[in-house]
Amino acid sequence: MNRASIMLVARREFRQIAAMKSFWLTLLLVPIALALGPIVGQALEDDEATRVVVLDRSGGTARAAIVDRFEFEEDRYRLSALSRYVRRHGLEQADPQAPWAQHDRWYTAADVAAFRAQGGMDAAIAALDAVKPEETSSFEAPEPQYEFPAAPETLVAASDDELDARVDTLLDSEGDEEVATVVMIGRDYPADPTIRLWSNEQPATSFVTVLQDVLTGDLRQRLLTGRGLSPQEAQAIQSAAPAIAVTTPPPGGGAREALLIRSIVPLALAYILMMSLMLSGSWMLQGSVEERSNKLLESLLACIRPEELMYGKLLGALAVGFSMILVWVGCAAVVAFATHGAIADMIRPALAPLTSPGIILAMIYFFVAGYVAISILFVAIGALADSMSEAQGYLMPILLGILLPITFLIQAIVMGQTGIMVQVLTWVPLWTPFAVLARLGAGIEMWEIVGSGVLLAGFVWLEIVFLGRLFRASLLSQGQKPGLKQLFERFRATPQ
């Protein structure tokens, strides 16, 4: 075996692919798409508060109760988010007594009241900024979900007959005056507890639940005081609630969350393996078909052995795949460095699997072996086909057979399942690289890694022997469409 010839073929293959416009487009489009994804997502994200008009014709305190309750829920949510941020960065020393430094309970009305009394979000952020290290990103408080503007005069003054039409006009208005929902409390409330709700879309369940909760409380308060209880007693009954003590792992430490975060790098590797294989494989196939259709093979085979040609092609494909990965990972690293705040925070736990040299070795091994195992199929198809359309005929069933189960596999890993399908895919060599790579983050037994790795090595060796024979035997049989019998003969054949 002449290594210099193999390297020459590999270099030529690489150069040919690198000269293709599609190679550069793909190389650049993937990072651009990944970068644009969050930007577009953010642009499409509806981060404006939903405007709700509450028309209280009963003249009571129902509107104020509804608005108070929604503001309370918003503050509890923001307090909870702030608590997670403080815990993630260990900033409790900013104010150990503040509610956001207590992570062990479901925040109550008293906690929210204390938070507000201490100056709310602005005071909390000021306290945290004073102690947080410079490289730690600042906390970004979630925007309020609902806004309650005063009911417009046209609606307040509307008669019962005019009401529906004026609500429709209001819901149809656009711009700053846009209103998504109108809630009307009738004149006879609470004698008639019917509440009307207009909305230009299906209202969120959480909104209706809170609305119902507030008005149910109000009705019960009235019923209890109507039965002779003092307002304080009635309120005490109403606000009786268990104190829920909460024990959770730190951010990124929960079982499901941790599994997902630890699986980011291995899953990304499995995806990248799949993408780069498909791309470099089809480019390599194009090159092989060109060699056949341009009648180049005999000239080449007069200089090098078929095996050298095959290994050179494999090496070239591997180099193309690795260069794509290098560029993509490089782009990701630049992004992570440039935004060393939020993304770096997310990436740090995701890189946890890479702290083990064994896992790094396993990743490299399964990635390379997977690349060779699948690329060799492309090489063999290239030796069989005289045209791209003929190659597609061989390729489609093989690609479907490889890719469909992998799609299900990755979904299963993300959902934390390790059922029979995941096990089977781990032990079938064509799917082994994807299955093991995807499972490395979620946890896979050492014996499974070693066993499936050995099986994969054996499979690659068999592929090299048998597909090598097919490659050699098919190279010069141009124009002959092999039937199944001829294919088997070529697998069996020693060089002839």
Q: Which stretch binds other proteins (CB under 8 A): 8-16, 120-128, 158-166, 241-249?
A: 8-16
Question: How would you label 385-410 residue by residue, b for 16+ Cβ within 10 Å and e otherwise?
Answer: beeeeebeebbeeebeebeebbeebb
Binding characters for other proteins, 472-491, by CB under 8 A (x = yes): ----x---------------
* Position 294 contacts other proteins (CB under 8 A): yes
* Position 5 contacts other proteins (CB under 8 A): yes
Question: How would you label 196-216 residue by residue, b for 16+ Cβ within 10 Å and e otherwise?
Answer: eebbeeebeeebeebbeebbe
The whole-angstrom separation of Cα 10 and Cα 372 is 14
Displacement of CA 287 from its chain's centroid (Å): 35
The only residue of 242, 295, 397, 483 in contact with other proteins, by rule CB under 8 A: 295
Q: Provide the pairing of β-strand 195-199 with 181-185.
A: antiparallel
Q: How far is CA 138 from CA 91, 93, 96, 141, 144, in A?
A: 12, 16, 19, 9, 18
* Position 145 contacts other proteins (CB under 8 A): no
Q: What residues contact residue 399 under an 8 Å CB cut-off, 6+ apart?
A: 278
Closest separation in Å from C-beta 139 to other proteins: 55
The whole-angstrom separation of Cα 84 and Cα 250 is 8
* Position 1 contacts other proteins (CB under 8 A): no
Q: Which stretch binds other proteins (CB under 8 A): 182-190, 239-247, 291-299, 380-388?
A: 291-299
Q: Which stretch binds other proteins (CB under 8 A): 203-211, 299-307, 398-406, 416-424?
A: 299-307
Pick 26 or 486: Cβ nearer other proteins: 486
The only residue of 68, 236, 298, 333 in contact with other proteins, by rule CB under 8 A: 298
The whole-angstrom separation of Cα 488 and Cα 151 is 81
Q: Which stretch binds other proteins (CB under 8 A): 2-10, 221-229, 355-363, 369-377?
A: 2-10
Contact positions with other proteins (CB under 8 A) in 418-477: 476
* Position 305 contacts other proteins (CB under 8 A): yes
* Position 3 contacts other proteins (CB under 8 A): no
Contact positions with other proteins (CB under 8 A) in 10-39: 12, 16, 19
The whole-angstrom separation of Cα 484 and Cα 488 is 6
Pick 194 or 294: Cβ nearer other proteins: 294
Closest separation in Å from C-beta 334 to other proteins: 32
Closest separation in Å from C-beta 444 to other proteins: 44
Beta carbons within 10 angstroms of residue 138's beta carbon: 12
* Position 495 contacts other proteins (CB under 8 A): yes
Closest separation in Å from C-beta 27 to other proteins: 18
Q: What residues contact residue 377 under an 8 Å CB cut-off, 6+ apart?
A: 281, 398, 463, 467
Tokens of 485: 């019998």
Footprint of other proteins on this chain (CB under 8 A)? 4-5, 8, 12, 16, 19, 290-291, 293-296, 298-305, 476, 495-496
